[in-house]
Amino acid sequence: MFFSSSSLFLFLILSSIFSFGFSNRTITNYTFLIREATIKDIKQSFERNQLTSRQLVQYYLREIARLNGLLKGIIEVNPDALLQADAADKERKCKVNGSLPDLHGIPILLKDNIATKDKLNTTAGSFALLGSVVPRDAGVVEKLRKAGAIILGKASLSEWANFRSTTAPSGFSPRSGQGKNPYVLSATPCGSSSGSAISVAANLVTVSLGTETDGSILCPSSFNSVVGLKPTVGLTSRAGAFQLLQDRTPLG
């Protein structure tokens, strides 16, 4: 999971430590900076009524619209993301602080080889799977939904987790184009979980999830200057994710 600085959850979390010229955001009567905020920061802002999930999702959608055409870290956005945010805000008003799940109202991005049973496609970056229907959410997605997370969309990746070709550049897929390293656009973002790292580094999302068979979490984390967590194989569910080797591909 890919996540901002000190926040950890479930699997590969990439910690955003990158400034890309974004403007600061002022929410209600308080100053709260969404850019570079950790999960803990966001949860505290929810509790203090400084921020709503709708405002958070709207911020990310604006940043995606502004930057993703260049960086190509996201393949598609969940059309129901704002509806999920509104539902989270409504639940927050009705429940006591501390009684909500750990990721309640937090947007999360999923690598496009992790299945979601919703309006999003799951294609591993390939047009060959565009429009295909998965039977159910991946195991990790079920847990994320139970934890209250908002599924923001699907991150780009090296097509078929970098096993489509021995010569294709890291971070390229037909559906997204060539993903770009936010620090140095001409540098490789590495792969195959390239979009998951790019998006957190560029503050297009706070948390993202990827997969790794051979460096696909650790390499993008390093090249895009974010924190990546690769869990021990078997500690997280691999059901519903495209895997090159079942005994070597954890989600994180």
Q: Is 117 helix (H, G, I), strand (E, B) or coil?
A: coil
Contacts of 113 by beta carbon, 8 Å cutoff, 6+ apart: 122, 124, 125, 157, 161, 211, 241, 242
Positive or negative: CA dihedral 166, 69, 88, 119: negative
Helix H or strand E segment including 216: none
Of 4, 15, 192, 199, the catalytic one is 192
Q: Any catalytic annotation for residue 173?
A: no
Residue 29 CA: distances (Å) to CA of 45, 48, 51, 53, 114: 12, 11, 10, 17, 39
Output the six-digit token pair for 197: 């790292």
Output the six-digit token pair for 142: 């079920």
Q: Any catalytic annotation for residue 225?
A: no
Omega before 53 within 30 of 0, i.e. cis: no
* Phi/psi of residue 104, nearest 5 degrees: -60, 120
Residue 248 CA: distances (Å) to CA of 103, 205, 230, 231: 27, 27, 11, 11
Of 111, 154, 180, 230, the catalytic one is 111
CB of 191 within 8 A of CB of 158? yes
Of 156, 173, 194, 216, the catalytic one is 216
Burial pattern 200-220, b for ≥16 Cβ within 10 A else e, equals: bbbbbbbbbbbbbbebbbbbb
Q: Any catalytic annotation for residue 192?
A: yes
Catalytic residue numbers read 111, 192, 216
